[in-house]
Amino acid sequence: MSKPKKVIPENIKPEVEVALRHFPELKHIPIEFKFKKNIKKSVMQAQPTFKDIFKAKENRSYKILISEKFKITGEEYRTTNVPKDVLIGWIGHELGHVMDYQNRSSLNLVAFGFRYAFLKEYVKKAERAADSFAVLRGMADYIIKTKQFILENAKIDPLYKERIKEYYLSPDEIMEMVKEKEEAIQE
């Protein structure tokens, strides 16, 4: 019996399906969306399934871990309670990571993991690449809403906001990418 291509918790299924529609290249790639009690330094995390790291790209599977709760100035909020467009944007960003991983050989993927764990500049490169994959697939509005939710929410920890500003594309950079993409299409 073949493994299901997507495993999605019912309470986020509509949002995941919207995000997945922007990534037709991932249609046949197994991805499990899974809630986890807590993820350090982030709300979501995409990763290849450990047993599949050395398989051919087309045979790999992935997990997108989603923190059940996150803290905003000490108060815990359920991830499923954020606005739907924000959740779609977060999921789209993680699918951007999966796209990035799909473009890497097994050895490159392992090296990527080490560099991501130890090199601050590499984290920035990887996070901006994930945002870019999502933006270039038509998810700019969702990604911007996610950034605005974080950056404009007075109750969100300033350290988390600084991490977002330092490592991820800004709303202005996203709008510039969209403009460049539209101009390229018109030429």
Q: Extract the tokens encoding 100.
A: 């990035």
Any domain includes 13: yes
pLDDT tens digits along 23-32? 999 999 999 9
Count structural domains, the chain. 1
Phi, psi (degrees; rounded to nearest 5) at 118: -120, -15
Any domain includes 22: yes
Any domain includes 1: no
On the question of pLDDT at 1 being above 50, the answer is: no
Any domain includes 156: yes
Q: Domain range holding 59? A: 6-186
Any domain includes 111: yes
Residues of the chain above pLDDT 90, percent: 66
Any domain includes 96: yes
On the question of pLDDT at 170 being above 60, the answer is: yes
